[in-house]
Amino acid sequence: MIKNRLSVLLAVFIILTTACSSSKWVVENQNEIDRNDFELIESVQFLERSGQTTPDNPIVSFNLKAANTFQYAQRVRTDRYIQRYTPSLKSILLGVAGAGLATSAAIVVDQPEINKQVLFGTAGFLTLSSFLNMKPTGDPTPTGESRLLRKTGTITETDTVRAAPIAGNTPSYTVYYNREAIVLRNDIPYVNGSYSINLIDELNPENFEYDSSDAITLEVYFNDVTYQETIALSDFFESFVVVSSDVTALRDEPELDSRNILTDLANGSQMKLVSEDSLWYKVLYGISETWISKSDAYPIWRPSEFASQLNIIAIPNIPFGNVDIESNIPRLTSQNDSAYAFVIANREYQGAYSERTYAERDARLMEEYFQNALSIPANHIYRAINVETRQQLARAYNRLATSLRSEQKRLIVYVSGYVKTGINDDVLLLGTNRGSNEQ
């Protein structure tokens, strides 16, 4: 009895866990693009700017691209899915109950043999039907299989791809500066997979006046299309300065102070320009940032490799008396007590006037000359150095005038600085205060 019950339970368990599956095709898209059914309608080559132009890389590069226009067929797309099914417990119970009733009727009720056969057949049919009445379990699982069926239309798409050069179809370019063509219709060479223009090879920096805001206009012609680009000169040239005065002081601070002078630079010295203001150029001296007066130099454009060829002429600070002209002063006369000398030396000019680097040294040389060659006593020599105002000059002159009142004297005046002619042909000494004060 127990074995029969276990058998029944096992049978029910097997029945309930029995499952099957089936596949079906589902329409997913009525206008799926068929990538295998296409026609090339048009292919147009064009140029695409690439990279960035810098002084270290003065190249303007263009990639050659092709815009390919294709017409694709559109079709109905169906995807295949797998659906899992399991028996319905409710259907099984009802089917088994109906089969049981039919079987009982065939056994218990006394009926003709044919009626019994019909009842037994009905019981079997109900049992089989209950097992076949399954319900779907979970969501359909896609198999990854697709089919493209009938054509429903067409669609046009454009793809952009890298292209290879075509013989006889080479781009050319023209360079304009201040609305004037300076390079005319040169072909662009194809180098390492792109069309490249080396601006340093084509443009001479000496043909450009220095202006940090200046630019050129580049026009490139290809396939009846003109590509135009404005390129600043500072994008492919670097800024340098050249000393234009005989001598200029190289300073570690942008101030007129003899204590911040590192060395003196001679005419023609070249240095890398870092920045500028209204009075000073900040330049590189080795790796150090230093300053020189704007009135003593002018800026130029040059390629970046010019930095390795700079001509810097530094003048050493030789102590006074070590130069022949300072040490070999002749003695021309004997003691001359009736002679006086007034020495004026202005060095630290600003504004439009360049600094007179050796003004103070020249003044000292003249003092030595007056004392040794002309035998003027040291207390007869008066000095006025770096005069800014009338008051400064007046105080120095008043000291001299006091000594000249007693009797007839001989006066020698030496000036190292800037002067100009005033009203009635008066000679006016320019003060050092930005070169604007007149003494």
Q: Which residue has the higher pLDDT, 84 or 248?
A: 248
Q: Which amino acid is at 10?
A: L
Q: Give the C-alpha separation, 173 to 228, whole Å.
A: 10
Residue 159: beta bridge partners? 68
Report pLDDT digits (tens) over 278-327.
899 999 998 889 999 998 999 999 999 998 888 888 887 666 666 666 66
Mapped onto helix, strand or coil, the DSSP state of residue 408 is coil
Q: Are 230 and 217 in contact (CB under 8 A)?
A: yes
Q: How far apart are the C-alpha atoms of 346 and 324, rounded to whole Å?
A: 24
Predicted local distance difference test score (pLDDT) of residue 321: 64
Query: What's residue 6's pLDDT?
Result: 47
For residue 84, the number of C-alpha atoms closer than 13 Å in the C-beta half-sphere is 9
Q: Give me the percent of the chain exceeding a pLDDT of 90.
A: 29
pLDDT attached to residue 82: 84
Q: For residue 92, what is the enclosing H or E element?
A: helix 89-108
CB contact at 8 A, 343 and 400 = no
Q: pLDDT at residue 57 above 60?
A: yes
Q: What is the pLDDT at residue 102? A: 53
User: Which tens digit of pLDDT belongs to each residue from 77-128?
Assistant: 998 888 777 766 555 655 555 555 555 555 555 555 555 555 555 555 555 5
- Give the per-residue pLDDT at 123: 52
Q: Which residues contact 73 (CB under 8 A, 6 or more apart)?
A: 33, 34, 37, 38, 151, 153, 154
Q: Over range 169-196, report the average pLDDT.
A: 90
Please check the confidence at residue 334 and state whether its pLDDT lies above 80: no
Name residues whose C-beta falls within 8 Å of residue 280's C-beta, 6 or more positions apart in sequence. Answer: 254, 291, 292, 293, 294
User: pLDDT digits over 12-48, tens only?
Assistant: 555 555 556 777 888 888 888 888 888 899 989 999 9
The per-residue pLDDT for 267 is 92
Highest averaged pLDDT of the listed ranges 125-129, 160-164, 387-391: 160-164
Q: What is the pLDDT of residue 94?
A: 56
Instruction: Map out the domains of the chain with their CATH numbers.
Output: 160-235 (2.60.40), 238-315 (2.30.30.40), 325-429 (no CATH)
397-420: average pLDDT = 77
For 116-146, write each residue's pLDDT tens digit: 555 555 555 555 555 556 667 778 888 888 8
